[in-house]
């Protein structure tokens, strides 16, 4: 299966701990996007990355959140010192490098619960 992969699927953290969410794009895709979804809310864009580059991080909170997409390995969304308000579903999507229209394909998501 060459779909977008995310792990872990469920993550429980206590307030103040760190959360690391991983995303491997579809085979052949080089563009990765992270979104956050709260219950009954739409998808909120967080960050857009290409290999070793952050293209658009306009949706990232200024503090505690960071993202990377290294030359080797998955993209990682890192949340430091988590708070209860960080509890949400975090989705990763990828799109192919030659697409003109930026159609994005989503992974299964990571459900983060902060106790």
Instruction: Note the residues at the interface with other proteins (CB under 8 A).
Output: 33, 35, 40-45, 48, 55-56, 58-59, 91, 99-109
Dihedral sign (CA 79, 55, 51, 49): positive
Tell me how far, at minimum, the Cβ of 110 lies from other proteins, in Å.
Answer: 10
Of residues 64 and 106, the one with the C-beta less far from other proteins: 106
Helix, strand, coil percentages in the chain from 3-state DSSP, rounded to 5: 5, 50, 50
Task: Tell the smallest beta-carbon distance from residue 113 to other proteins (Å).
Answer: 14
The residue (of 91 and 114) whose beta carbon lies closer to other proteins is 91
What is the C-alpha separation between 111 and 28, in angstroms, rounded?
26
CA-CA distance, 79 to 28, in Å (whole number)?
A: 27
| CB nearer other proteins, residue 17 or residue 96 | 96
CB of 81 to other proteins, least distance (A): 26
């Amino acid at each position: 299966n060459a779909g977008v992969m995310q792990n872990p699927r469920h993550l429980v953290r206590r307030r103040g701990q760190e959360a690391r969410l991983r995303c491997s794009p579809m085979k052949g895709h080089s563009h990765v996007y992270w979104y956050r979804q709260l219950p009954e809310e739409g998808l909120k864009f967080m960050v857009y990355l290409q290999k070793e580059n952050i293209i658009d991080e306009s949706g990232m909170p200024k503090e505690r959140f960071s993202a990377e997409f290294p030359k080797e390995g998955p993209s990682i969304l890192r949340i430091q010192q988590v708070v209860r308000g960080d509890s949400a579903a975090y989705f990763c999507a990828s799109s192919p490098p030659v697409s003109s229209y930026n159609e994005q394909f989503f992974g299964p998501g990571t459900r983060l619960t902060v106790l």
